[in-house]
Amino acid sequence: LFIVMASHCPDYKEIYRFDHFTELWEHYGYGGDMQELRLQEFGRVKGITYLDHAGTTLFPESQIKGFYQDIARNIYGNPHSLNPSSKLTHDTVERVRYRILEHFNTSPEEYTVIFTAGSTAALRLVADSFPWSPPAAEEPGSSFCYLTDNHTSVVGIRGAAAKLGATTLPVLPQHVETRARDAPWATGGDVCHLFCYPAQSNFSGRKYPLSYVKGIQGGRLYPACDRQGQWMVLLDAASFVSCSSLDLQECPADFIPISFYKIFGFPTGLGALLVRNRAAVLLRKGYFGGGTAAAYLAEEDYFVPASNVSSRFEDGTISFLDIISLHHGFDSLYRITGSMFKIQMHTFGLARYTYIHLSSLLHCNKQPVAQIYCENDFQDPSRQGAIINFNLLNSHGSVVGYSLVDRLASLFNIHVRTGCFCNTGACQIFLGISDQNIKHNLEAGHVCGDNIDLVDGRPTGSVRVSFGYMTTFEDCQNFLSFVVNCFVDKPLRMHEERLTHLKTADSSPRSPTSERHNAPDLTPSFTSNLNGEEGVIKNGQIKDSQTLTNIFIYPIKSCAAFEVSEWPLGNRGLQYDRTWMVVNENGVCLSQKREPRLCLIQPSISLASNMLHIQAPGMMSISMPLEDPLEMKTSQSKVCGDRVQTVDCGDEVASWFSGFLGKPCHLIRQSPESTRDMKKGLGQGMTSLSLVNEAQYLLINRASVALLQECISSRKINSIFGLGTFDALQLIKRFRANLVISGACPFEEDDWSNLKIGEMLFQVACRCARCHMICIDPETGSRTQEPLKSLTDFKKGKVSCSSATFMLSVGNSVHPDMPSI
C-alpha cells in the first residue's frame, strides 16, 4: 500500500533544478553534453540510477571495444616465453606499468608496480613480507598501527604481524595530530614499524591529510613520535584514486594498494601494490612461484630471487590480458574527462549538491529526514570525497532500517550500498555502536553483509550513495525525489538556512601542479673539430685507400633510410638519426619484425626549413616540424630494455601512420631532455644514445657485403627467393648502417677497436648481432630467409648470426694501428 501511494505522489524534481545547480557550480561535466556522453558510452544505464561507484564504477563502451580490437589484432603470448608474441606481451605490460606510475606523477626510479589480484591481495603481500621483528632484550619489536577508520583488509594485517611478534596499536583519527610531540624520537634503526591509514574513508568519504605520510615517516606525528625506529606508511588509496588525483611526489608513501575496477570499472580482480623502491629492499618473501627465481635447486634449500622487484613478487603468470586492458582504460578515461582534477570537481559538485538538499529535507513537523555521517559540510574537495553516508529518519526521529531503504530503492531502479561497508571502526564511531553492541548483535544473529538492519531499535549499518565521473545531475534528482516521495511525511519542508550553504562553495579551485605541462629544453649541440667545420661528416673522405662512400640517416626507427652527402653530428650521433619511432596503441615500439611495411615509409629532413617530410606508397605526403611544440603530451617508452622519455607527435600524423599500416598507432619522438646511456661494456665512458638499439653509429664494409653476396649466389637459390636482381647497394640497405666504407678487406673490421674518419675519432663498441630485419626487402616489405641464412652459415664458428655491420661511438681512445678513412 505504501508503494502504491508513493507512486502517486507529486513530482518533486522541480525542487532540484539544473539551472540553479550550474549557476552555483561551474565544474559540471567535461565540456560536452553529459546526456550525450551517457548515451554513447553508458547506454546500458538507461532507466537506472547507479549510485554505488565506491563499490565499483562503470566502464565506458569505448574501453571494451578498444580492448577487444587490440586482442583481436594482436597475439599476446605468455610473457615468460621469449618468442615474438611473448615479447610483445612483455613490452606492452611494461608500458602499462609506466603509464600507471605516470598517472600518479612518479617514475620507475622511485616506485615499482607489482600487479596483484586486487587491493586486498596487495595488502596481504605487505602483511606477509614486511620485516616484522619481535621484541628483544635491548629494544622493542615492530609495531603495526592503523587508524580505526580503515577497511577490514587493512585491519586484517594485524594477524600476520602478531604471529611474528609485532604489537598492534589502533589509533583514533583525532589522535594523530593531538598527540603529536614537538620533540619526537629520532627516526631510523633496525626495527621497522608500519602505520596504515586511508587517503579517503570508504565509509564517509572523508579525506585524511596526505601530509600524514611525511609526518609519520619523519617521526613528528602520533604514534611515530612515541616509538623509535624506522617508520613506513601504507596509504590505502583504493577509494581515493577513483575520483581524485594522487601525487606521489607530494606524499611519498612506502606502500600504496589500489584496485583498477574502482578507477575504470574493468577489469575486476586486478590491482597493484605501488612500492617505494627504498622500502622494497626491506621486504622478505617466503614462498616463491614461477618467474620469481633467478636460480634455485630442487634437492637443496637454495634459492636466489629475481633481481627485479616486480618479478620477485609476481608469482606465476600475471593476468596479462587484464593488464593490457588498463591501457584502454586510461585512454578512455582521459579522452572522456580530460583529467582526474575534472573528475574530482564534477563528482564533488554533485555530491555536495545532494548532501545539502538531503540534509535540508524536513518532515511536516520540521523533524529532519536524514542523519548524515560526515565530519564536514562538503565545503572543500580536498577534505571530502564524492560519498554520502546516512540513515533516514521517520517523523518521530527513529531510524528507518537500511534494508527497507535498499529494497524500495531497487523498486525505483536506484542502486545504492547498505551495511557497514567493511569498515567496522568508522561504523562504530558514526553510529555510536560500542564493542559490546557488536558482540550482542552477533548473538542476536546479525553478521556482516546480512539484511538485519535494526537490533533492539538501534541501526547496525547505514546507506551509502557514491558518485562517479559519468554520474549526471538527473541521477541526483532521481535519488532526492525517491527520498521525498517514499520517506517524507508531507507536506515537505526545507531547511532554508542550510540551503544557503550552496552559495558559499568556492567553485574556482586550482588544478594540481602535477597536471601542468612541462616545457622541454632544446637538445644541446655536439661540438667537435672536423676539417674546420663544427660537427660535420662528409662523403669521400679518403685515406690509405679507404673511403666513406655513403651516409644514411634513419629519422624514424625501422622506417626507410634517408641518404645524405654530408651531415652534422649531435651529442647522440648523427643529428636526428632514430629520433622518432612508431608505437602501437599501447605505446609499444613497432619494428619491421612486427610490421614489415614500415620499410616502405620514406622520411626525409630539410634542415633549411626545419621540417621532417614523410612519404609512403598510396599516401599523401605529410610534414611536421623537427622540434615539437612545448604543449605536446609526454610519456615513457622502452627501447632495448631502456626507459626513454618521449613526446607524442599528435593526432594528425598518428592518423596518417594508422591509415598506412592499417592499425592504430602513433608517432613519438625522444624527448630532448631524455638521457639514455650506452650499456656498460660496449664502450669507454658515458655515451648518450637516441632511439638506436645499442650504439650511436652502425658501420658496414662494402667488401664484406660483396663477399656475402657471393655466398648468396653460390647457394643457387636466387630464382627461388627473387634475389637475382640484387646489387650491392640493395643488400647494404638491408643492414641499415649509417656509414658505408670501401677499400678494406672482407670482415677486416671485425678486429678493429678504433678508427678515424677524417679527423673524427671513433671507438668500436662491438660487432652488431643483426636480427631478422635483414630478411625484409626494403623496397617491397616482403620477407625471405636470405641473406641471414647465408650469413649465418658463412660466419658459423666465428660469431653466430653476426653481420657485416658493427657499432661505433665517438671516442678519444686511439689504437696506434687503427685504420683511417
Q: Where are the alpha helices (DSSP H) in 715-813?
A: 718-721, 728-735, 788-795
Q: Which residue has the cell 626510479?
A: 109
- Encode pLDDT of 692-747 as tens digits: 887 888 888 888 888 887 777 766 544 444 444 556 777 888 888 899 988 768 88
- Count of alpha carbons within 13 Å of 554, Cβ hemisphere only? 26
Task: Give the number of other Cβ atoms within 10 Å of residue 557's Cβ.
Answer: 26
- Count of alpha carbons within 13 Å of 626, Cβ hemisphere only? 16
Positive/negative CA dihedral, 371, 374, 378, 384? negative
pLDDT-derived band at 657 (thresholds 50, 70, 90) equals: very high
Q: Which residue has the cell 619484425?
A: 593
Exposure class string for 31-47: b at 16+ Cβ within 10 A, else e: eeebeebbeebbeebee
In terms of Cβ atoms closer than 10 Å to its own Cβ (0-12, 13-18, 19+), residue 751 is: exposed
Query: Closest Cα partner for 420 from 436, 396, 393, 438?
Result: 438
- Encode pLDDT of 81-119 as tens digits: 999 999 999 999 999 999 999 999 999 999 999 999 999
Task: Give the number of other Cβ atoms within 10 Å of residue 182's Cβ.
Answer: 6
- Encode pLDDT of 617-651 as tens digits: 999 999 999 887 656 677 777 787 788 888 999 99
Cell of 549: 662512400
Cell of 115: 600487479
Q: Which residue has the cell 587491493?
A: 119
Active site residue 422: yes
User: Stretch 392-413: mean pLDDT, rounded?
Assistant: 96
Q: How much is the CA Rg of the chain, to the nearest whole Å?
A: 32
**Does residue 534 sit in helix, strand or coil?**
strand
Decide which of 518 and 104 is more confident: 104
Alpha-carbon dihedral 81, 82, 83, 88, rounded to 10 degrees: 90
Interior angle at CA 505, CA 501 and CA 511, nearest 5: 165
Answer yes or no: are the C-beta atoms of 801 and 770 closer than 8 Å.
Answer: yes
The rounded distance, in Å, linking the Cα atoms of 518 and 632 is: 9
Share above pLDDT 90 across residues of the chain, in percent, rounded to a whole number = 61
pLDDT-derived band at 64 (thresholds 50, 70, 90) equals: very high
- What is the predicted pLDDT for the residue at 399? 96
For residue 155, what are the CA distances in angstroms to 135, 158, 221, 234? 21, 6, 20, 12
Describe the chain by its helix, strand, coil percentages, rounded to 5: 30, 25, 45
Decide which of 9 and 449 is more confident: 449
Answer yes or no: are the C-beta atoms of 651 and 634 closer than 8 Å.
Answer: no
Q: Which residue has the cell 610483445?
A: 88
pLDDT-derived band at 466 (thresholds 50, 70, 90) equals: very high
Mean pLDDT of the chain: 85
Phi, psi of 143 (to 5 degrees): -120, 135
- What is the predicted pLDDT for the residue at 142? 96
pLDDT at 345 over 60: yes
Using N-to-C axis directions, what is the helix angle for 473-487 and 340-360, rounded to 10°? 20
Among candidate residues 145, 251, 422, 589, the one labeled active-site is 422
DSSP state of 183: S
- What is the predicted pLDDT for the residue at 13? 58
Residue type, 336: I
pLDDT-derived band at 615 (thresholds 50, 70, 90) equals: very high
Decide which of 514 and 768 is more confident: 768
pLDDT at 806 over 60: no
- Encode pLDDT of 587-600 as tens digits: 888 888 888 899 99
- Comparing 214-218, 320-324, 767-771, which segment has the lowest mean pLDDT? 767-771
- What is the predicted pLDDT for the residue at 798? 31
Q: Maximum distance among all alpha carbons in the chain? A: 107
pLDDT at 786 over 80: no
Going by DSSP bridges, is the β-strand pair 143-147/167-171 parallel, antiparallel, or unpaired?
parallel
Task: Give the number of other Cβ atoms within 10 Å of residue 316's Cβ.
Answer: 10
For residue 305, what are the CA distances in angstroms to 164, 296, 732? 22, 8, 44
pLDDT at 506 over 80: no
**What are 14-20's contacts with CB under 8 Å, separation 24+?**
15/357, 15/480, 15/484, 15/492, 15/494, 16/353, 16/357, 16/476, 16/477, 16/480, 16/481, 18/473
The contacts of residue 298 (CB under 8 Å, 6+ apart) are: none
The rounded distance, in Å, linking the Cα atoms of 231 and 278 is: 12
Cell of 265: 570499472
- What is the predicted pLDDT for the residue at 246? 98
The rounded distance, in Å, linking the Cα atoms of 75 and 372 is: 51
- What is the predicted pLDDT for the residue at 5? 35
User: Stretch 424-453: mean pLDDT, rounded?
Assistant: 92
